[in-house]
C-alpha cells in the first residue's frame, strides 16, 4: 500500500465484522489514517479497533443503523466533530438476501431497500456538504456483482444494489467539479458472514453459510484489493474469483450469461 491513506480521516460503516473489519485492520497496520468505525454493534466496534492496534487518538466509534435514515445528518455531524473532517466515506454496511422473489414478503423487499439503498444514500447526502466545504473527498460504495446483474434468490438485494449504481453514477457527474470522487466496489463471493446474516422470505436470518461464500476469496485479500482500487480512484471495480467474469458476459454476451445464471448454483 502506498501512503495514499496517510493523514486522512476515513469513515467505515459495517466495521464490526467482515469486509469492514478487514478494511480497518489493513488501514490501521499500513497507514496513519484516523478511522471512524460504525455499525449497529458498538461493543464489537471497540473490539475491532483495539484488535487492530489503533491508539485511542486514532479512532472513534459511532453506532448507526442504516434503517434510521432520518438520523444520518446528526450522525454525520457527530462524525465530523471527531476529527474535523471526513476525507473518505466507505459505505460498506448492508444486508443480503436468500429467498425466491415470489416467496419473499414485500416488507423484506422494503427492508433491503431501506438498508442497502436509502440508508446509504442518506448517509452520503449528510456527508457531502462537509466534503464540499473541505474542497474534496472520496465516497466509496460497497455494492455487489448483484448491482450489475441479477441472480436467483437475490431479487430484492439485486434491486437495491442496482439502485445504488444509478444514484452514484449520477452523483459522480454532479460532484466532479467539487473534487469529490466516487468508487463503486462490486464484490463476488468473499469469505464473510454475509450469507449467515442474509434475510429469507419471512425476514428471518438464514443462519447458515453458503458453499460459494465459504469457498470465496479470503476477506483480507479482498480488503487489500479494494483499498488499491480506492487509492487508484477507480470508478467501478469488480473483485472476486471467476464469478467476476460474469460482468463481461453481461456486457458482451448477455444471452449466454442468462443461460448460465439459470443453471448456476447461487447458494
157 is catalytic: yes
Cell of 3: 501512503
Q: DSSP string of 208-220?
A: S--HHHHTSB-HH
**Is residue 170 within 8 Å of residue 212, measured between CB atoms?**
no
SS3 state of residue 87:
coil
Please classify residue 74 by burial: count the beta carbons closer than 10 Å to its beta carbon, then call 0-12 exposed, 13-18 middle and 19+ buried: exposed
Cα 118–123–129 angle (5° rounding)? 130
CA 82 to chain CA mean position, Å: 22
Q: How far apart are CA 60 and CA 81, in angstroms?
A: 10
Cell of 258: 442468462
Q: Beta strand 88-91 with 137-142: parallel, antiparallel or unpaired?
A: parallel
Q: Beta strand 59-61 with 180-187: parallel, antiparallel or unpaired?
A: unpaired
CA 178 to chain CA mean position, Å: 23
Cell of 97: 438476501
Q: Which of 117, 157, 228, 248 is catalytic?
A: 157
Residues noted as catalytic: 157
Amino acid at each position: 500500500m502506498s501512503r495514499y491513506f496517510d493523514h486522512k480521516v476515513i469513515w467505515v460503516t459495517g466495521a464490526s465484522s467482515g469486509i469492514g473489519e478487514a478494511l480497518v485492520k489493513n488501514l490501521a497496520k499500513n497507514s496513519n489514517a484516523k478511522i471512524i468505525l460504525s455499525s449497529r454493534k458498538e461493543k464489537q466496534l471497540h473490539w475491532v479497533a483495539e484488535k487492530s492496534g489503533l491508539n485511542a487518538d486514532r479512532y472513534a466509534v459511532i453506532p448507526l443503523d442504516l434503517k434510521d435514515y432520518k438520523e444520518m445528518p446528526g450522525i454525520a455531524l457527530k462524525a465530523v466533530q471527531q476529527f474535523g473532517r471526513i476525507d473518505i466515506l466507505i459505505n460498506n454496511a448492508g444486508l443480503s438476501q436468500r429467498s425466491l422473489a415470489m416467496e419473499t414478503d414485500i416488507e423484506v423487499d422494503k427492508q433491503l431497500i431501506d438498508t442497502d439503498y436509502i440508508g446509504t444514500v442518506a448517509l452520503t447526502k449528510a456527508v457531502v456538504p462537509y466534503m464540499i466545504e473541505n474542497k474534496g473527498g472520496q465516497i466509496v460504495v460497497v455494492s455487489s456483482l448483484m448491482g450489475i446483474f441479477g441472480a436467483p434468490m437475490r431479487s430484492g438485494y439485486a434491486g437495491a444494489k442496482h439502485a445504488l449504481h444509478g444514484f452514484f453514477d449520477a452523483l459522480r457527474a454532479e460532484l466532479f467539479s467539487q473534487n469529490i470522487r466516487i468508487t463503486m466496489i462490486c464484490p463476488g463471493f468473499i469469505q464473510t458472514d454475509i450469507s449467515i446474516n442474509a434475510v429469507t422470505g419471512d425476514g428471518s436470518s438464514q443462519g447458515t453459510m453458503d458453499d460459494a461464500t465459504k469457498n470465496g476469496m479470503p476477506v483480507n485479500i479482498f480488503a487489500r484489493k479494494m483499498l488499491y482500487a480506492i487509492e487508484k480512484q477507480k470508478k467501478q471495480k469488480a473483485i472476486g474469483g471467476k464469478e467476476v467474469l460474469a460482468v463481461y458476459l453481461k456486457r458482451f454476451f448477455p444471452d449466454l450469461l442468462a443461460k448460465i445464471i439459470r443453471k448456476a448454483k447461487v447458494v
